[in-house]
C-alpha cells in the first residue's frame, strides 16, 4: 500500500487544481494494490520567517510536516501566477524544506508534479520552477512527460472531479510512474537493510573467529607452560 499526500497550489477548494487532485484520489482505487490519499491544506500555514521557525513554527506547520513525513508519494497540482507557482505553494515548500528537530520531510520524497488552468497551456510554465525548487529541497521528482491540464472550462466534472477519459489516462500514467519510483526506492531500502544485517553478521562471525583464536592461543600458551614445568 502507498499513501499519497495531495497538494494543490491553489488555496481554493473549488479550483481546477483541486479537481485534478480529486481525480487522482478517485483513480487510485483502480491502480494495482491498495492506496490511500490525504489532502494537505496549505492555506493554514503562516508566512515563513526564521524567527517563527526558531520558535517551533505553528501547530499547522508541525502537522503539515507530520503528514508529508508519513507520505510515500507527494502529488502536487499547481496553477501558474505570472509564469510561476503561487506564493502559497512556495511558502509551503519553504516550511517543509526546513529540517527543524529532524530531517526535512521533503528529503528523498517521491514527488509527482502536474498543473492546471483554464488556459490552453494548462499552467505548464509553472512546472519548471516548481521542479527546480523541489530538487533543491531534496525531493525525488518523478520523471514523466509533463501533464498540464488546459482548457478546463470545457471539461466535464462529476462530484468535483474530471471525467474526461484522456485526462484520466494521463493522470493515471503519472500516478503509476510515481508508484514505480516509490517501489524502486523501497526495494533499494530493503536491499540496504539486508546488507546492513549481513554486515553485522559478518562482523559477528569475525568476532567469533577471533574469540576462538584467542582461546586457542591461550590454550597453546598454557600447554607450552605445562611442558616447560614438566621438563624442569
Q: How far is CA 159 from the centre of its chain?
A: 28
Q: What pLDDT, on the 0 to 100 scale, is given for residue 232?
A: 47
Q: How far is CA 49 from the centre of its chain?
A: 24
CA dist., res. 87 & res. 84, Å (int): 9
CA dist., res. 139 & res. 154, Å (int): 34
Q: What pLDDT, on the 0 to 100 scale, is given for residue 228?
A: 42
Q: What pLDDT, on the 0 to 100 scale, is given for residue 68?
A: 97
Grid look-up 503539515 returns 64
Q: What pLDDT, on the 0 to 100 scale, is given for residue 189?
A: 56
Q: What pLDDT, on the 0 to 100 scale, is given for residue 171?
A: 98
Count of beta carbons in the 10 Å neighbourhood of residue 91? 15
Tens digits of residue pLDDT in 54-66: 998 899 999 999 9
Tens digits of residue pLDDT in 88-141: 999 999 999 997 656 799 999 999 999 999 999 999 999 999 999 999 999 999
Which residue numbers in the chain have pLDDT < 70?
Answer: 100-102, 188-206, 208-209, 211-212, 214-215, 217-218, 220-221, 223-232
Q: What pLDDT, on the 0 to 100 scale, is given for residue 212?
A: 64
- ∠ Cα 44 9 142 (to 5°): 120
Grid look-up 507520505 returns 71
CA dist., res. 191 & res. 208, Å (int): 25
Q: What pLDDT, on the 0 to 100 scale, is given for residue 187?
A: 82
CA dist., res. 19 & res. 158, Å (int): 9
The CA distances from residue 120 to 79, 123, 160, in Å, are: 12, 8, 21
Amino acid at each position: 500500500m502507498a499513501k499519497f499526500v495531495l497538494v494543490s497550489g491553489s488555496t481554493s477548494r473549488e479550483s481546477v487544481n483541486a479537481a485534478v487532485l480529486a481525480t487522482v484520489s478517485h483513480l487510485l482505487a483502480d491502480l494495482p494494490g491498495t492506496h490511500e490519499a490525504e489532502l494537505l491544506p496549505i492555506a493554514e500555514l503562516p508566512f515563513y520567517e526564521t524567527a517563527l521557525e526558531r520558535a517551533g513554527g505553528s501547530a499547522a506547520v508541525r502537522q503539515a510536516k507530520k503528514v508529508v513525513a508519513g507520505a510515500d508519494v507527494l502529488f502536487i497540482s499547481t496553477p501558474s501566477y505570472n509564469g510561476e507557482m503561487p506564493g502559497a505553494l512556495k511558502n509551503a515548500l519553504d516550511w517543509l524544506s526546513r529540517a527543524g528537530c529532524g530531517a526535512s520531510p521533503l528529503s528523498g520524497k517521491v514527488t509527482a508534479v502536474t498543473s492546471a488552468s483554464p488556459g490552453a497551456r494548462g499552467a505548464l510554465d509553472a512546472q519548471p520552477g516548481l521542479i527546480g525548487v523541489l530538487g533543491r529541497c531534496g525531493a525525488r521528482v518523478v520523471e514523466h512527460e509533463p501533464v498540464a491540464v488546459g482548457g478546463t472550462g470545457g471539461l466535464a466534472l462529476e462530484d468535483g472531479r474530471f471525467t474526461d477519459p484522456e485526462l484520466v489516462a494521463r493522470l493515471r500514467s503519472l500516478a503509476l510512474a510515481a508508484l514505480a519510483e516509490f517501489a524502486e526506492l523501497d526495494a533499494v531500502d530493503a536491499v540496504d537493510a539486508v546488507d546492513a544485517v549481513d554486515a553485522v553478521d559478518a562482523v559477528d562471525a569475525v568476532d567469533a573467529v577471533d574469540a576462538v583464536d584467542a582461546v586457542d592461543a591461550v590454550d597453546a600458551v598454557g600447554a607450552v607452560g605445562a611442558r616447560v614445568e614438566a621438563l624442569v
